[in-house]
Structure 1
């Protein structure tokens, strides 16, 4: 049923107009139902699309040497091994390390590390205008650690409760990446064909969208790396346990929406 068939003619009767309204209503209802069916998968599909767009130049080189299915399998495995497996390992180590480290950080700051922190803060305050050299930095840091420890415990509980949902979304994303890699050219042609512009403007819009997504991902990775380096250096300066691990954890979790550091 096309849009032209749904539009009633000028001399249409009340019955024809009612039929047209009902047809539009049924169409909107079907669109809404389809959206509700795919709504739980939108996040996984969105991340899969972003990763595929970012790594598609790599896939195009593989597609010249292998069949579409094989190149899609190789590209999907490469992205999974490069990003997802390290993310799972970092998350596992983060949970394990957080349980042990959070118990000793408060005691370390309040005890033997307090004089060191106060001395370093006094030195920094002498060289940076506007800072109070007499501020009780150790107490402030301890309060911040207590607050973050409570948030961390709450967040870890949420993660553990939603672990099954996470695994399911992960598999959906991996399968979606495979089909996006395999049918990428067909999907691009389909999207280009429904855009209401001439061929030149369609190509320009598609290229700009691809470049924007690639630039956004690259920028996010650079910012995450800088944040992790600065965080790790900060932890090392105050001599907190395992500064390298926490720097890597900060870099990784800064990429996570909502709960990013």
Structure 2
């Protein structure tokens, strides 16, 4: 009786201490998450370097981390700076009236007169829509400018998070296998189940990060190139926005190039509009329809519709990290139920 009481008391203490520890780590959650993702993604490269250079854990982990910084971290920082610069220029053009959202909407209404009547059929006030869209454009541009002005104030916080992420990634690269074995010993789920779940965690994380980022880079680059070729203002800005939106499967980049093509039609530039529609549907769309199933769906072993809904839900709940967390939770959900059904059926047959 006393032994059971002590066991329950210890489990309560363990749960309380663990919860308190997780709360302490909460401010650094994103840094920890991406450190884990870096370790998982670059583990194959670490293995390759180990075969070539010998088993020197500290040196191999450091060299792997330096390669990660060179091919991922530095380019991301560079692109972010360029994106902010173009965002400021876009805001200035809105503020000076060089870009007039009301004029753009008026041109669209004149070019597509059926739009007003169609919206009226559903009881939608087009004047309110125009005011809302105009205000939304101004608010978004002002927000971007305001955030840009505070970058200097947030630089220290960003550098701290970046340093913590790289610091933790080094130790995860060096001691990742030991930590995994330690967790397998600690968790009371059964070694076979734990190995299966860890394997699924690694597969999905690696596939979603690499696959979605490759698709995002390709679609963003393709979108930026066609905007530059058609002399559309802010090609780099819109390319980065398309890259970000492409994290949403099926419809992401089209949320940018389709409205722009409609505007080109409205202003009478039929040639550019037709080129953009064809290019967006065939070239940019092909990158999503071909690359994403190969890079994400195949490795995660998730149906396309599960990837779509879990990605959108993950982005809604967890922000930018959700494009990884959403499919990861979906894969773990299916894996857990698969393990449950297998074990239950075996027990039932026995």
Deviation at 1:77, TM superposition (A): 0.7
Residues 109, 138 of structure 1: 8 Å contact kept: no
Residues 87, 252 of structure 1: 8 Å contact kept: no
1:221 aligns with 213
CA–CA separation in structure 1 for the residues paired with 2:51 and 2:212: 30
Correspondent of 1:50 among 17, 37, 45: 37
Q: Aligned ranges for residues 146-157 of structure 1 at < 5 Å?
A: 146-157=138-149
Change in Cα spacing, 1:26 to 1:195, as seen in structure 2 (3 Å) is closer
CA–CA separation in structure 2 for the residues paired with 1:180 and 1:87: 22
Bigger proportion of residues as helix: 2
Residue deviations 1:91-112 (CA, integer Å, cap 9, x gap): 222233322332124633339x
Residue deviations 1:22-81 (CA, integer Å, cap 9, x gap): 656654553344334333323211110012112211211112223111110111011111
Q: Aligned ranges for residues 14-25 of structure 1 at < 5 Å?
A: none
Higher relative contact order (CA 8 A, sep 6+): 1
Which structure is larger by alpha-carbon Rg, 1 or 2?
Answer: 1
Q: Aligned ranges for residues 57-68 of structure 1 at < 5 Å?
A: 57-66=44-53, 67-68=56-57
Residues 231, 250 of structure 1: 8 Å contact kept: yes
CA–CA separation in structure 2 for the residues paired with 1:248 and 1:151: 17
Point out the more displaced range, 68-77 or 94-103: 94-103
Q: Specify every segment of 5 or more residues in structure 2 that has no aligned partner in the other structure, as ranges.
A: 118-125, 248-314, 322-350
1:72 aligns with 61
Q: Aligned ranges for residues 80-159 of structure 1 at < 5 Å?
A: 80-105=69-94, 107-110=97-100, 118=107, 122=111, 131=115, 143-157=135-149, 159=151
CA–CA separation in structure 2 for the residues paired with 1:89 and 1:63: 30
CA–CA separation in structure 2 for the residues paired with 1:168 and 1:108: 39
Correspondent of 1:40 among 27, 50, 72: 27
CA–CA separation in structure 2 for the residues paired with 1:9 and 1:259: 47
Output the TM-score relative to the length of structure 2.
0.55
Q: CA RMSD in A?
A: 4.2
* Secondary structure of 2:79 counterpart: helix
Q: How many residues align?
A: 241
2:160 aligns with 168
Residues 224, 235 of structure 2: 8 Å contact kept: yes
